[in-house]
Amino acid sequence: MITYDRLFIGGSWVAPSDPRLLDIASPHDQSVIGRVAQAQPADVDRAVTAARESFEEGVWRLTPPTERIAVLRRFNALREEHAERAAHLISLENGSAGWFTRAGQPGLTRQANAYFKAAEEFGWEETPAPSDPASPVRSVVRREAIGVVAAVIPWNSPFSSATSKIIPALLAGNSVVLKVSPENSLSMGFLAELLERSGLPGGVISVLPAGRETSEYLVSHPEVDKIAFTGSTRAGRRIASIAGEQLKRVSLELGGKSAAVILPDADIAAAVAGLKFGSLLNNGESCIAQTRILAPREKYEEVVGALKKLVESLRVGDPGDPDTFIGPMIRPDQQERVRDYIRLGIEEGARLVTGGPQIPEGLEKGNYVTPTVFADVDNSMRIAQEEIFGPVLVVIAYDDEDDAVRIANDSPYGLSGGIWSADEARALAVARRIRTGTLTLNGAPLAFDGPFGGFKSSGIGREYGAVGLGTYTEYKTITL
């Protein structure tokens, strides 16, 4: 049993305003695996006050960038040292398969290193050449910290979401209140322990597990200057409205319903093998999952058959079992939500290729869903338009490249996607026509030096690299 009966506020572990602890249930079998304190508005006030005081006093924002980088490199080294512990806790509380949580740890290092490189090369203060060389006027352009950042992250990939926000925010000199989901109280409690050991000054960072009402209290707090949010599009709209009313800076990384376009010249076997990871990573509970599979009409049944064979080969079960590929959904309500979408697909007239709404045999105690593939799907169906957030794939036929691009773009979302082709130039030409923030060709991994974020209802702003770092700064121009 893991217990966190205190909250990490301003760099110290303190008693919560509400002493009651929340039981954390295992998604695998509903056993209680931990008990944790949950933040209330009074705790938010303490965290924001600590952040504001530390920011105004300049204990961190006036620290030279090189020293800020050194502290955060120390944090990242601690995280690398304890990567196995972090992976274990995420699997325990989330139900994410062990292969996924372990495989994600090197990605966190690449993500952090991209931010460090950006910070080392960043134009913290520059003197641009004047447009008129004869003019006596000169300008000094500075990039300065915004202030108090409220970073709000979802439950599905907590370490990745947390580090993608707190590292650039802190590198830029801000003070941060990280609000995490109650479901992630164990792994994020461990994250707080690593932050405590990293050498950040007092007041600069807080980690608060809390529910939605407390989250809204945080983002609405008058002393918060910027909101960085990852989560559902519905919640993002609410946060954007709050930010608009209060003129807070805001960045939103929201939902997706990404398309994987298999071009006619693609190696079908290789493409489907790659979609094992691109479409079904993290039990399908991933905003970047490519869950709309667009297949050329002349090879449609070949693609459907290969996906059927793939999905039926995947081991579903205990996330702690090294042979498991797909674990349980995080909560019973999420399990029911995914099963309802599977029922809806059947009602809409899609062909059920494999899977269905039944719970996998022998796994009735957990939040399990049978991985499902639908064929003969029209892109107007709800199962093709709405984010299901589970192991459900829909296969849509297209006639030619123009039709494939049209279908891929016929979505309220635009977060991710993929192209599969034997001709890289052809794949790149198609990728340029699809309105989405990130695309991978032939299963390439995400590049953390480039910006990540969404078009349309998938969000506002970008994360990763120099662009992501810049979103946590304000421009200041001093004219001489």
Per-residue pLDDT reduced to its tens digit, 238-283: 999 999 999 999 999 999 999 999 999 999 999 999 999 999 999 9
pLDDT at position 134: 84
For residue 452, what are the CA distances in angstroms to 415, 416, 462, 469? 8, 9, 5, 12
Percentage, residues of the chain above pLDDT 70: 100
pLDDT at position 78: 98
Q: Give the C-alpha separation, 87 to 89, whole Å.
A: 6
Mark out the alpha helices in 38-179 (DSSP H runs).
41-57, 65-81, 83-94, 98-121, 158-171
Asked if 81 is an active-site residue, the reply is no
Q: How many CB atoms lie within 10 A of CB 139?
A: 13
pLDDT band at 87 (very low <50, low <70, confident <90, very high): very high
Q: Is the per-residue pLDDT at 132 higher than 90?
A: no
pLDDT at position 199: 95
Range with lowest mean pLDDT among 61-70, 129-138, 462-471: 129-138
Q: Give the C-alpha separation, 263 to 273, whole Å.
A: 15
| Residue burial 157-171, b: 16+ Cβ < 10 Å; e: rest | bbbbbbbbbbbbbbb
Q: What is the pLDDT of residues 271-297, one digit of tens each?
A: 999 999 999 999 999 999 999 999 999
> Active-site residue among 253, 285, 387, 463?
253
Tell me phi and psi for residue 332, to 5 degrees.
Answer: -60, -35
Q: Is the per-residue pLDDT at 133 higher than 90?
A: no
Bridge partner list, 206: 177
Q: What is the CA radius of gyration of the chain?
A: 23
Q: What is the pLDDT of residues 391-437, one digit of tens each?
A: 999 999 999 999 999 999 999 999 999 999 999 999 999 999 999 99
Q: Is the per-residue pLDDT at 44 higher than 90?
A: yes
Average pLDDT of 169-182? 98
Q: Is 133 exposed, middle or buried (0-12, 13-18, 19+ CB in 10 A)?
A: exposed
pLDDT band at 129 (very low <50, low <70, confident <90, very high): confident
Q: Give the C-alpha separation, 57 to 425, whole Å.
A: 53
pLDDT at position 315: 97
Angle between helices 41-57 and 212-220 (to 10 degrees): 30
Q: What is the pLDDT of residues 214-238, one digit of tens each?
A: 999 999 999 999 999 999 999 999 9
Q: Which of 272, 307, 257 is nearest to 407 (CA)?
A: 257
Spatial contact of 260 and 278, defined as CB atoms under 8 Å apart: yes
Q: Which of 365, 330, 313 is nearest to 185 (CA)?
A: 330
pLDDT at position 219: 98
Asked if 253 is an active-site residue, the reply is yes
Domains observed in the chain: 2-254+458-479 (3.40.605.10), 259-448 (3.40.309.10)
Tell me the two tokens of residue 106.
Answer: 């090197």
Spatial contact of 139 and 480, defined as CB atoms under 8 Å apart: yes
Q: Give the C-alpha separation, 255 to 236, whole Å.
A: 9
pLDDT at position 206: 98
Q: Is the per-residue pLDDT at 130 higher than 90?
A: no
pLDDT band at 438 (very low <50, low <70, confident <90, very high): very high
pLDDT at position 135: 83
pLDDT at position 247: 96
Q: Is the per-residue pLDDT at 123 higher than 90?
A: yes
Structure-derived torsion over alpha carbons of residues 42, 47, 52, 53, reported in degrees to the nearest 10: 100
Q: Give the C-alpha separation, 420 to 264, whole Å.
A: 9
Q: Give the C-alpha separation, 415 to 449, whole Å.
A: 17
pLDDT at position 131: 84
Q: Give the C-alpha separation, 378 to 376, whole Å.
A: 7
Residue whose tokens read 């439950």: 155
> Active-site residue among 183, 287, 387, 463?
287
Q: Is the per-residue pLDDT at 368 higher than 90?
A: yes
Q: Please, what is the average pLDDT of the chain?
A: 97
Q: What is the pLDDT of residues 297-327, one digit of tens each?
A: 999 999 999 999 999 999 999 999 999 999 9
